[in-house]
Chain A
Amino acid sequence: MVGILIATWVAIVYALFFFNLIANFLSGQKGV
């Protein structure tokens, strides 16, 4: 049960992270 909980949490964080990353990549965001 705890293992599945950890896996679910990790999956949520990874999904949000990649969504952000791809959005930033597509927007052509540049740094200084």
Chain B
Amino acid sequence: MIVPPLYHLGRFTVGSLARDLDPDLRTGLSLCIGFAVLSYVVMVEGFLDSYTDLTFWLTIALPFLLTIPLTLRRIKKLPARWAQWRSAFPLPWDRFLWALIGLLALLDLINAGNAAVGWDAAVHHYAFPGALLRAGGLVDVPAIPFSYYPSLIEMLFTLGLKVGGVFAAGAMTWVFLIPLAVALISLGKSAGSPRIGLWSIILFLGAPLTFETPFSGVIDLPFFTFCILALAVLLEPERGITWGRVVLIGLLIGCASATKHLGLLFLAAFVPVFIWKLVRDTGKFSNSLGPAMLMILLSLLIPLPWYIRSYVLTGDPLYPFLANILNLAGDRWGSFSVESFARTDYPRNLVGFLFYLWHLTMDYWDLRPWYWAVHPAWLALLPPAIVWAIAPPRETRLSARILSLRIILLLAFLTMAINFFLAPAYPRYLFPTWLCLSLSSAWALSETRRHWPATGRILVPIVLALPLVIVLGMAGKRAIEVVPQYVSPDARERAVSESVPGYETFAWANEHLNPRSDVILSIDPKIYYLDTPAIISKPGIESSLIVPWDSQPTQIISNWRDLGVTYFMLDTTLISVKHGFGIAFFSAVLDDRDAVWLDITTTRAGADEFGIGDILSDEEFLRMSALAGLPIVQDGTREGCHLLSREKMEMFQSWGRDWQMARTLLRFINAGILTEEFRSGPGGGLRVYRVHLPPTDDASLPDLPDVTGWCLAYEEGPVDRLPADST
């Protein structure tokens, strides 16, 4: 019911702007524009505080009923479109690849019904819509720091969650697979053949990294579909650029920016590419400036309502994006930082950039699950593609397809360079790059097949099939897990319980807490699972409602009192939280001394006395020390006894505020301000504490246990004077 009227609306818009576009590309554009319009309708309804069943069903049913005749007319034309599609891909091998894509898409659609949604959805993309639905409109939700981001897709999720639950919300993003496919086919045509487009779809969807984008409540698929459609319109080979196409490109990049702030970075990369193409088409640099200005203007105009909302609510139109650089909302609390959950120590220099793709393909592993691997073809086929683009064979030197390849490679280079300098080494922030590299890889593969048929016959199936088989296996396995959830509520509950560590704690909170009167402060940011209003307080992505964790305990108590906090949820499975408690302990051991000798047996016992014995297991205790470069590693080099210096401790402490949070929490527990009510998950990792605030903010708190005795002072060294059993 949702798709047909949006398609007609989008088709009308696209037809008005660029009637001469390829019909398939127009179909893809129509869907995207239609969904964008729907998003803005839901946004307006939100500003009017009218998130009710009636409004949402009217939003869906009325356009559907009004456009039934148009829909029937389009359905009659489907056989002709199908015949066109078959004639474009006559070979059985091509159709087999389409069948694989169809199978993957089908599995993805089944997986859209998975109740156990991913981390991003539970923290932001479904958590924010869930809060809006509870409030009945598009209200300020300061408890979720991500709620000030542009929310084009979250508006669709709001509608989807209300009318069809997780499946409808997931299917909203799944639909974008269609425009993505037609955009890549169109770009393949511009690079010489629709088969290049087909292969690029296989290469892109064959990357394990892209596996969850069509179904698990993340917004990347719509984001990069908007981006790649803009490129497809720019390079569409039928005619040169027109004002209508410029408007269309501006709308698309605007939609990308209204989906994610990364759209602004894509815009910065797209402008040089856009100007280059126009200069090639018109022969004059000055001819490109007007269209470029219009395109940029529209790109900023589309997300403007979201920028205004953020500005009105926080004083910063982009909050919390680049908040640490722009600092426009300086008086707000919290400390949002992408760096808090992504690695940043990759060298940011020329040599680092030259090996960046290698690093992301081969070396990058921390904080990345194995199933977020990128596609090896993007690295493997980049050198041949670059050689062909720089020095093409004589017969293709001046052809439009070489220009397309060069533009695609330039866009890949620029998007990667911007990511390299501005964002952490995080493969998910590079989707536009991966799309461009899928196209250039397919191009290189196609040329290899053309020039060296014998090699190509072996190379093509291996390059295309290997990672795709893994992704198909992953999607199939997930579908087997999800299918029972469609028929059994118990299976849904079980699926969530198995995939969300400590889910029993959420379930306990939902059963025992009062959503009307209780307020939870939660270190676990997956607040989508909570019925009771919860404020995200995980260090690094904490809500701007709470004072920074390194504040004085009196300020924290006062802050909690103002917020009416009644329960506290502590997730000790988070690595950063574990670090916090570990650093707090090692700081206490060192105290005000310059250096002490540690050994594993005594310091471990000291950690128990400090109150973190059941937060860090023996293995975690060692691993955390190794991560920080602390000397308490049983490597045998000093007979198990190691020197902990103030210099090392300060380096360790510089990792963040989490250790000061840990100190405050331990003191609150010792003072009886926090009393444990429930714990579950691996090792009892997710715990609920009841909050008993003292009558006054400046209540005296007990000191933490003195653990300075759990080590030897430096003067008592050297090593050979340490006890023999200290290993």
Contacts and interface: CB of A to CB of B under 8 A. Distances in A.
A17 B376 contact: yes
A30 B369 contact: yes
Which of A13, A18, A21: most chain B CB closer than 10 A?
Answer: A13
Contacts of B459: 6-7, 10
Contacts of B379: 13, 17
A31 B372 contact: yes
A17 B193 CA distance: 29
Nearest to A22: B370
Contacts of B462: 14
Interface string A1-30: 011101101100110111011001100011
Query: What is the predominant secondary structure among interface residues of chain B facing chain A?
Result: helix
A17 B373 contact: yes
B376 A14 contact: yes
Interface size range on B against A: 20 to 34
Nearest to B441: A10
A15 to B, nearest CB: 9
A21 B209 CA distance: 12
Interface in B331-350: 341
Interface in B466-517: 466, 470
A24 B455 contact: no
Contact of A3 (B361, B373, B380, B455): B455
B76 interface: no
Contacts of A25: 370
A18 B469 CA distance: 13
Contact of B119 (A9, A16, A21, A32): A32
Interface string B195-238: 00000000000001000000000000000000000000000000
A24 B79 CA distance: 47
A6 B466 contact: no
A16 B470 CA distance: 16
Which of A21, A29, A32: most chain B CB closer than 10 A?
Answer: A32
A25 B372 CA distance: 11
B458 interface: yes
Contacts of A2: 451-452
A12 to B, nearest CB: 8
B367 interface: yes
B365 A29 contact: yes
Contacts of B365: 20, 24, 29
Contact of B369 (A3, A17, A31): A31
B119 A7 contact: no
B448 interface: yes
22 contacts: A2-B451, A3-B454, A4-B455, A6-B455, A7-B458, A10-B381, A10-B459, A13-B361, A14-B462, A14-B463, A17-B362, A17-B373, A18-B376, A20-B365, A20-B373, A24-B365, A24-B369, A24-B373, A29-B370, A30-B369, A31-B119, A32-B367
Lowest 6 A-B CB distances belong to which pairs?
A: A3-B452, A24-B370, A3-B455, A17-B376, A31-B369, A13-B380
Given A7-B458, A20-B373, 14 more contacts: A2-B452, A3-B451, A4-B452, A6-B444, A7-B448, A14-B462, A17-B376, A20-B362, A21-B370, A21-B373, A21-B470, A29-B368, A29-B370, A30-B369
